[in-house]
C-alpha cells in the first residue's frame, strides 16, 4: 500500500520546488563562490548538524529557500567525501509542526545505531500580549534519518522544553549541540539569564537522545559577555575543553568586538560531575568582519574541524539582488597551543589547486606586481621577511578604482584588513594583533569571488570578510615601507567545485 505523504514531506517538496524556480530566476553569477558552500538560491545562515556520517561529511545550514531574505528557517543540506568537493542534497528539515511552525532553528547531528539524529530548535512566535509574556517559545526537537538524506521528525517532540526552575529566560533557549562521552549523550544549549541581560550555556544529558535531563548552567557571562549566547558548542582537544559560542551584545573594546555579534571560545575544563565549565577568558575565533555561529565536529581521522557562516547579521549583502545570500567559511582544522586555538585550512584543501606559480627571494619596495599572480579564485601562501621594512601592504582584487588591502605595521604589530575600496557592499577595517617570528610574517590567503580569508602565522590569527569586487578587479600588488623580501610565494589558482551552479 502506498504510504501517505507526511506534512513534513509535503513541506520539503514545496521548498525544493521553490529552489528549482529561484535557481532559474537567479541573477548575475559574478559573486557566486567557486569552492565555498553556498545555497543554490535563497538565504542561508548558521552551519548546522556538521558531522561525518556513512563515509561523508554532512553540512546542514539555516536556510530560507523562498527568498534571499531571512524567513521561516529550513535546514539546507550539502555533503562531501573530502571537505573539498560538495554536493547539494535535498532540504532536510522544513518547519510546519505546532512546535516548529515558525522555523527549524539551529542544532546539531549525531549518529546512533547507524541512524543520523538531528537535534534542533523549534521556534514559535507568540502574539503580543500573550499569557506567557514572551514573544516566542523555543523547544528542542529530534528528527531521524536512516539514509542521511530523508528525515522524519520524532513523534514525541519536543524532547526538551524550558526547565521549570533556575535563572533561565523562558523565551530564549536554542541551538543545541550534542556530543557523546563514555556511553552518555550531552548537549549544550544557548540561553540567557532571567534575572539579568547575561548570556549563558545550559548542559543537558541523556542516555538515549530522547529523554533529556537538565544538569546545570555550564557557563555564563559575568556581565561583559553579552545578553544572549547563541550557537554554543563544546569540544575537547587533548586536555583542553573548548566552549565555542556566539555572544550577542558585547560592547566594542578598542579594536575588538566591532562586529554586531561576536564568535569565540573559552578554553577550560568541564566537570562532568557538577556540569560546570571552569573557563579562561573569552577569545575571538576570527578577527575579520564576517564570521558567525561556528560549529565543530570530530571526523573519522580524529580531527576537530570547524566551519562558520561567513556573514554578519544586519550587514549589507549585495548578492541578495541576485537571488541568494550567504556562504560558509572554508572548513578549518582546530588545534590548541598554550591554551589558544589555532585554526588552519585542512590538508585536503590542497586538492583545490589547479596550478602553481612559485617565486623566491623577491625584493619589494614600491608597489610591485608579479607575473601571473592575479585572479579572483586562488590560494596564496607567503613568507614575508620584514627585517628591512617598517611594514607592508598587500592589495588584492585590484582594478583602477578597487582594492582590498591587508597591511602589517611592525611597530604596533597590527595586521589590518580594509575593505573601504573593495567596491559595493559593506566597508570598514578590522585589526588583529600578530607577532612576527624571526621578522617573518606567514600568510595564507583564500580568495573566492566574494570573500577573502586570511590565515596569519599558521592560523594563530584569522580574518574573514565578504567583499564584492567587479569582474575586472583581479590584480595583486605588493608594497613595503623600506625593503621587504618575499622569501617565498606560492600562488595557486583554485578550481570550481560546483558542477551545476
Ligand atoms: C544565530 C541564530 C540562532 C538561531 C538561528 C536562526 O545566527 O540567531 O540563534 O537558531 O540563527 O536562523
At residue 435, φ and ψ (nearest 5 deg) are: -95, 140
Helix (H, G, I), strand (E, B) or coil at 369: coil
Å from CA of 353 to ligand 1 middle: 34
Split at pLDDT 50, 70, 90, the class of 501 is low
pLDDT at 482: 96
Per-residue pLDDT averaged across 22-43, rounded?
94
Q: Is the pLDDT of residue 206 over 70?
A: yes
Residues 6 or more apart in contact with residue 156 via CB below 8 angstroms: 210
Q: Is the pLDDT of residue 1 over 70?
A: no
Active site residue 46: yes
Q: Does residue 230's CB lie within 6 angstroms of at least one atom of ligand 1?
A: yes
pLDDT at 221: 95
pLDDT tens digit sequence for 410-437: 999 999 999 999 999 999 999 999 999 9
Mean pLDDT of the chain: 97
Q: Does residue 404's CB lie within 6 angstroms of at least one atom of ligand 1?
A: no
CA–CA dist 433, 411 (Å, integer): 11
Strands 332-337 and 104-112: unpaired
Handedness of CA 118, 77, 36, 408 (dihedral sign): negative
Q: Does residue 175's CB lie within 6 angstroms of at least one atom of ligand 1?
A: yes
Q: Is the pLDDT of residue 133 over 90?
A: no
CA–CA dist 331, 308 (Å, integer): 8
Q: Give 96's Cβ-side CA count (13 Å radius).
A: 16
pLDDT at 28: 87
In this structure, the residue with its CA closest to atom 6 of ligand 1 is 105
Per-residue pLDDT averaged across 36-40, rounded?
97
pLDDT tens digit sequence for 235-280: 999 999 999 999 999 999 999 999 999 999 999 999 999 999 999 9
Q: Does residue 121's CB lie within 6 angstroms of at least one atom of ligand 1?
A: yes
**Closest C-alpha to 172, from 96, 249, 244, 118:** 249
Q: Decide which of 492 and 131 is more confident.
A: 492
pLDDT at 222: 85
Å from CA of 106 to ligand 1 middle: 6
Å from CA of 62 to ligand 1 middle: 8
pLDDT tens digit sequence for 61-112: 999 999 999 999 999 999 999 999 999 999 999 999 999 999 999 999 999 9
Split at pLDDT 50, 70, 90, the class of 348 is very high
Å from CA of 200 to ligand 1 middle: 15
Q: Which of 46, 100, 385, 448 is catalytic?
A: 46
Q: Which atom of ligand 1 is least distant from the CA of 190?
A: 9
Q: Which of 64, 173, 188, 231 to mutate to test the pocket of ligand 1 (most atoms within 8 A of CB)?
A: 231
Q: Which atom of ligand 1 is least distant from the CA of 228?
A: 9
Q: Is the pLDDT of residue 443 over 90?
A: yes
Which DSSP helix (H) or strand (E) runs through 8? helix 7-25
Strands 42-53 and 324-325: parallel
Cell of 286: 576570527
Å from CA of 46 to ligand 1 middle: 7
Split at pLDDT 50, 70, 90, the class of 500 is low
CA–CA dist 145, 11 (Å, integer): 17
Amino acid at each position: 500500500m502506498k504510504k501517505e505523504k507526511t506534512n513534513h514531506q509535503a513541506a520539503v517538496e514545496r521548498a525544493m520546488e521553490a529552489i528549482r524556480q529561484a535557481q532559474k530566476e537567479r541573477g548575475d553569477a559574478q559573486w557566486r563562490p567557486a569552492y565555498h558552500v553556498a545555497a543554490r538560491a535563497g538565504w542561508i545562515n548558521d552551519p548546522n548538524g556538521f558531522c561525518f556520517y556513512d563515509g561523508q561529511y554532512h553540512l546542514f545550514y539555516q536556510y530560507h529557500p523562498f527568498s534571499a531574505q531571512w524567513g521561516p528557517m529550513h535546514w539546507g543540506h550539502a555533503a562531501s567525501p573530502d571537505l573539498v568537493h560538495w554536493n547539494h542534497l535535498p532540504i532536510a528539515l522544513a518547519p510546519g509542526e505546532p512546535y516548529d511552525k515558525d522555523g527549524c532553528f539551529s542544532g546539531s547531528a549525531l549518529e546512533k545505531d547507524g541512524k543520523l539524529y538531528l537535534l534542533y530548535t523549534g521556534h514559535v512566535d507568540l502574539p503580543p500580549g500573550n499569557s506567557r509574556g514572551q514573544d516566542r517559545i523555543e523547544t528542542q526537537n529530534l528528527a531521524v534519518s536512516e539514509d542521511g538524506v530523508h528525515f522524519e521528525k520524532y513523534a514525541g517532540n519536543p524532547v526538551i522544553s524550558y526547565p521549570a526552575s533556575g535563572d533561565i529566560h523562558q523565551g530564549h533557549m536554542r541551538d543545541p549541540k550534542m556530543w557523546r562521552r563514555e556511553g552518555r549523550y550531552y548537549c549544550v544549549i544557548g540561553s540567557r539569564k532571567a534575572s539579568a541581560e547575561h548570556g549563558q550555556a545550559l548542559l543537558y544529558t541523556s542516555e538515549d537522545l530522547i529523554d533529556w535531563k537538565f544538569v546545570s548552567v555550564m557557563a555564563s557571562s559575568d556581565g561583559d559577555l553579552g545578553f544572549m549566547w547563541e550557537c554554543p558548542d563544546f569540544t575537547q582537544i587533548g586536555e583542553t575543553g573548548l566552549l565555542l559560542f556566539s555572544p550577542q551584545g558585547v560592547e566594542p573594546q578598542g579594536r575588538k568586538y566591532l562586529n554586531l555579534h561576536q564568535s569565540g571560545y573559552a578554553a577550560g575544563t568541564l566537570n562532568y560531575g557538577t556540569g560546570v565549565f571552569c573557563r579562561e577568558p573569552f577569545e575571538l575565533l576570527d578577527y575579520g568582519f564576517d564570521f558567525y555561529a561556528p560549529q565543530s565536529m570530530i571526523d573519522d581521522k580524529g580531527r576537530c574541524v570547524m566551519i562558520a557562516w561567513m556573514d554578519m547579521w544586519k550587514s549589507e549583502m549585495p548578492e541578495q539582488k541576485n537571488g541568494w545570500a550567504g556562504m560558509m567559511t572554508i572548513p578549518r582544522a582546530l588545534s590548541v597551543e598554550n591554551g589558544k586555538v589555532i585554526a588552519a585550512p585542512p590538508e585536503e584543501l590542497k586538492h583545490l589547486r589547479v596550478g602553481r606559480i612559485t617565486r623566491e627571494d623577491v625584493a619589494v619596495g614600491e608597489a610591485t606586481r608579479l607575473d601571473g599572480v592575479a585572479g579572483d579564485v586562488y590560494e596564496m601562501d607567503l613568507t614575508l621577511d620584514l627585517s628591512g621594512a617598517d611594514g607592508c601592504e598587500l592589495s588584492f582584487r585590484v582594478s583602477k578604482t578597487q582594492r582590498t588591502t591587508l597591511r602589517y605595521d611592525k611597530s604596533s604589530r597590527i595586521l589590518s584588513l580594509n575593505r573601504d575600496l573593495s567596491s559595493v557592499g559593506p566597508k570598514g577595517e578590522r585589526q588583529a594583533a600578530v607577532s612576527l617570528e624571526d621578522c617573518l610574517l606567514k600568510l595564507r590567503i583564500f580568495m573566492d569571488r566574494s570573500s577573502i580569508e586570511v590565515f596569519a602565522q599558521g592560523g594563530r590569527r584569522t580574518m574573514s570578510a565578504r567583499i564584492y569586487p567587479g569582474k575586472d578587479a583581479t590584480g595583486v600588488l605588493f608594497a613595503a615601507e623600506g625593503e621587504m623580501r618575499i622569501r617565498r610565494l606560492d600562488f595557486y589558482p583554485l578550481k570550481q567545485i560546483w558542477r551545476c551552479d
